[in-house]
């Protein structure tokens, strides 16, 4: 309902156009005349001064009794700098591939850094980390680069590049470590795919928890369902290729837990110091892991 009368009016509601249309119906139902006006970035409902108290009371009661009432949550504003983390991810994978292909320092990098299910391997702490940076061939490397950059960039925009990539690294390493313990003896696995699926789980877990806090029905499961579908689609691999499905599943699961915990407890997304510290910690961890791996093989 809209009119152009010159009666003194006061604001009783402010929000999006859709919200104003909805709340305007409440005023219509009570026979309370109102105007719907547009400001620079939102819409408002105004009523005659004499009707203001009654209109506010009606809108307040409607908001409390709304069947689809949702808890207010912080608007998720994308963060900048996500490209930095993705670029470093690509540089690290290509640098390790170059060094491994040339057997730099006279070391077989694949033997030094892969996770291997054998006696004593569980004590070699570096392998779950170094294995994330190794690949068997160019196709393997290229696939993980493409998916990793895409999903990692999304994670960086939500959590910030430092927190996102440290979380992905730790979740991927955790998945690799459990994979090492559960896999049959003699199995060897490498590749950033476990970390890529950890990033997917991170996003799915975060979205799942945020939706669960706001939605009452099955809508809350949408992020988790989407993540599981992508895991099934991309994580099983072709029948003629050796794919570490267990590693993918464990990485996704670890990321899911971390993402859920972030949404549950909150993280300092816009704290630049925390982002730099987290990113530096991720780089240091990779460097220390490879230093330990190369030293053990020399």
Question: What's the average pLDDT block by block, 10 residues per block, for the chain (298 residues)?
Answer: 58 86 87 85 87 88 67 61 93 96 92 83 90 92 92 92 96 93 82 91 84 54 60 55 78 92 78 90 97 88
Co-location of 130 and 95 in the same domain = yes
Query: Does some domain include residue 183?
Result: yes
Co-location of 148 and 247 in the same domain = yes
Co-location of 183 and 223 in the same domain = yes
Query: Does some domain include residue 4?
Result: no
pLDDT of residue 228: 63
CA-to-CA dists, residue 109 to 94, 101, 134, 182, angstroms: 14, 8, 8, 23
Co-location of 29 and 114 in the same domain = no
pLDDT of residue 6: 47
Co-location of 42 and 144 in the same domain = no
Task: State how far the Cα of 85 lies from the Cα of 144, in Å rounded to an integer.
Answer: 15
Global confidence as pTM: 0.71
Q: What is the number of domains present in the chain?
A: 2
What angle do the packed helices 222-235 and 245-265 form, to 10 degrees? 160
Query: Does some domain include residue 203?
Result: yes
pLDDT of residue 22: 85
The H or E element containing residue 131 is none
Q: Which among 65, 97, 112 is the end of a domain? A: 65
Co-location of 55 and 86 in the same domain = no
Q: Which among 38, 65, 92 is the end of a domain? A: 65
Co-location of 87 and 215 in the same domain = yes
Q: What is the CATH number of the domain that holds 14?
A: 3.30.70
Co-location of 37 and 164 in the same domain = no
Query: For residue 52, what are the domain limits?
Result: 9-65
> Phi, psi (5° rounding) for residue 174?
-65, -40
pLDDT of residue 176: 93
Co-location of 21 and 159 in the same domain = no
Query: Does some domain include residue 178?
Result: yes
């Amino acid at each position: 309902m809209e009119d152009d009368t010159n009666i003194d009016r006061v604001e009783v509601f402010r929000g999006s156009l859709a919200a104003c249309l909805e709340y305007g119906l409440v005023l219509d139902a009570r026979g309370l005349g109102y105007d719907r006006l547009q400001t620079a970035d939102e819409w408002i409902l105004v009523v005659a001064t004499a009707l203001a108290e009654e209109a506010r009371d009606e809108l307040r009661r409607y908001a409390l009794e709304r069947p689809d009432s949702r808890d207010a949550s912080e608007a998720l504003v994308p963060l900048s700098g996500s490209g930095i983390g993705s670029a470093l991810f690509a540089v690290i994978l290509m640098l390790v591939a170059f060094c491994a292909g040339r057997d730099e320092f006279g070391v077989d990098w694949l033997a030094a850094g892969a996770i291997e299910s054998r006696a004593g391997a569980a004590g070699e702490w570096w392998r779950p980390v170094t294995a994330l940076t190794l690949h068997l061939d160019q196709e393997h490397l290229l696939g993980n680069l493409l998916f990793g950059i895409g999903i990692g960039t999304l994670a960086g925009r939500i959590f910030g590049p430092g927190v996102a990539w440290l979380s992905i690294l730790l979740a991927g390493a955790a998945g690799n470590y459990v994979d090492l313990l559960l896999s049959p003896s003699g199995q060897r696995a490498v590749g950033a795919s476990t970390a890529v699926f950890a990033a997917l789980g991170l996003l799915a877990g975060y979205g799942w928890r945020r939706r669960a806090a706001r939605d009452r029905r099955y809508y809350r499961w949408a992020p988790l369902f989407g993540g599981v579908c992508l895991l099934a689609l991309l994580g099983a691999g072709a029948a003629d290729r050796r794919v570490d499905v267990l590693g993918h599943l464990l990485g996704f699961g670890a990321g899911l837990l971390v993402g859920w915990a972030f949404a549950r407890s909150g993280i300092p997304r816009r704290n630049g110091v925390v982002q730099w510290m987290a990113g530096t910690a991720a780089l240091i961890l990779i460097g220390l892991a490879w230093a330990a791996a190369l030293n053990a093989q020399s």
